[in-house]
Amino acid sequence: MSDTKTHWKMLINPDYIGAYALPDGEDLTVTIDYVQSEEVTGSGGKKEVCTVAHLKGQKPMILNVTNSKSIHKLYGPFIEDWAGKDITLYASTTKLAGEVVECLRIRPKVAERKKPGIAADRFANAIKAVQAGTYPAQKLRDQFALTQEQEKELRDVLSQKEAA
């Protein structure tokens, strides 16, 4: 049985990213692929023309005026200049029709992307490749956030290679 749970809002408008899609309390840095005006079908089937930021590796994000202004402050007023640029999303709240609701907002500064960890089996393969000289140790460090134990093992392998 999986520990992953589905937020109910993911079923309401599953085509677009929302605050509910962010890991609890975490920011998400994404890259804008392109921005365009397009017709969006909301809950209840209501169609509306919206500004939509298509994000690399994520669902698109409907941009309201607040978020459009945030991107403007980062990268200027022209949507064509936003392509390929990073933005950092965070969950917040706002008042809508007298009710406080969750929303996505854009940080005024782009957060540095966190490097992913590396699974033990993949790390073991990377260590073998470093030992064989087919994979640079620096590339391993650049791509992944190594644990203290993994960094120590990598240093030991490099020391053994130098001694040989």
Q: What is the 3-state secondary structure (H, E, C) of the chain?
A: CCCCCCCCHHHHCCCCCCHHHCCCCCCEEEEEEEEEEEEEECHHHCEEEEEEEEECCCCCEEECHHHHHHHHHHHCCCHHHHCCCEEEEEEEEEEECCEEEEEEEECCCCCCCCCCCCCHHHHHHHHHHHHHCCCCHHHHHHHCCCCHHHHHHHHHHHHHHHHC
pLDDT tens per residue, range 6-16: 555 555 557 88
Compare 35 and 19 and report the one with higher pLDDT: 35
Dist CA 60 CA 50 (whole Å):
12
Asked if 127 contacts 139 with a C-beta cutoff of 8 angstroms, the reply is: no
Q: List the chain domain ranges.
A: 9-106, 120-163
pLDDT tens per residue, range 98-141: 999 889 999 999 987 777 788 899 999 999 999 998 999 998 98
The pair of structure tokens assigned to 124 is 């073991």
pLDDT tens per residue, range 43-57: 678 899 999 999 998
Dist CA 162 CA 61 (whole Å):
50
Query: Chain-centre distance of CA 35, in angstroms?
Result: 17
